[in-house]
Every structure is written in C-alpha cells, then in structure tokens.
Amino acid sequence: MPVIETLAYVPIDMDKFIDFVIDGKKENGVHVTVGGQIATGVISWLQGRGVKEAHFFNSPAGDPMQLFVATIQKPETYERPWMKEIACFAEYVKTDGLIGTITNFAPIGSLFASVASNPILDQKFAMGALRVETIRESIRRGEPAFPIAEEELLATLRGEKGTDPQALFSEVKKSFGFSL
C-alpha cells in the first residue's frame, strides 16, 4: 500500500518559489552552495529521494491566500523534513503560519478555493522521474557510457555535500541527449 505524504507551505513569492521548485537557486547559472549543500531545488531533491509519483498544487500569485501543496508517494517509511534537507528552501517560504489576509473570516474550503493543480510542475516531475529512471537502468545494466554510480546520481540530485550537479547534468546531456 503506498505511503502518501502531503506537505503545505506558504511561499513568500509564489513565482520565485515555483522557479526554485523547478530549478533550485542559481547565481550566474550555477547552483548555490550553502553549508556544503547544493540548492538543486525541490523536483531534483524528490527525484534524488527516489520518489516515483508527485503532484503539485498552488494558489495563483497575487491571490490573498498563498499556499503551495505537494503530495508524494514516499519511498521510505521515516520522516524527511523538506525544509531542513533542501538547500535554500527556507528562504522561499514563510514560517509564521500566516497564509494571507482577508477582510472576513471564512471556512477552510473558501480559503483554499483558489488552490489548483499545477500541471506544469506535475509534468516536469514526471518527465524528470522518467529520465532519472532511464539513467538508473543504464547504470544497473553496467553500460560504460555513464561514468557515475547510482548512489552518486541520487546524492547529486539531492544536492548533497561534495557532489557536482553541473558536471552531472553535463554528463547526462552528453550520454543520453536529454536534460534533467
């Protein structure tokens, strides 16, 4: 039976947060490193966790209630605190619990009425997951065209200390002809 994890966050700026989810935090085209951890973004981190399925939802930028929600099929049975494990994540979300301001108190259904599925994020995740699985299968078959071990691939996607996402992404493009 699948274990489903649901997470909800209040972005400081929805558009910037969604950019971070997709591509991490970069300066001059290179992922930022903070405390040795590399800010590869949410989608990459989920794929490095081995998440097979994820769905994303958010309110539109500018809506008085700002909320970002993700549901994922967990590959593990223990807790994985996103904010602590994804470099720079906390820079993009509020931690005070305030989801917005409105003039009248309303039931939760009304407050979250503008939260809708984000098919662009869903598609980016699904395409990336398919590509990561293609690479993992190639590594398992022992194909010499890709010189990175499976665990190193996953660690790099998670932005772990000592990894080099730019080198990995360049090698993926060279070996497989697609981008992660």
113 pLDDT tier (thresholds 50, 70, 90): confident
Residue 144 Cα distances to 147, 149, 165, 168, angstroms: 6, 11, 20, 15
1-25 pLDDT, tens digit each: 788 898 889 999 999 999 999 999 9
Q: Are 156 and 165 in contact (CB under 8 A)?
A: yes
Write down the pTM of the prediction.
0.91
- Whether the per-residue pLDDT at 99 is higher than 90: the answer is no
pLDDT of residue 57: 97
The Cα 128–Cα 131 span in angstroms is 5
Give the chain's mean pLDDT: 90
pLDDT of residue 95: 85
Domain residue spans in the chain? Answer: 4-176
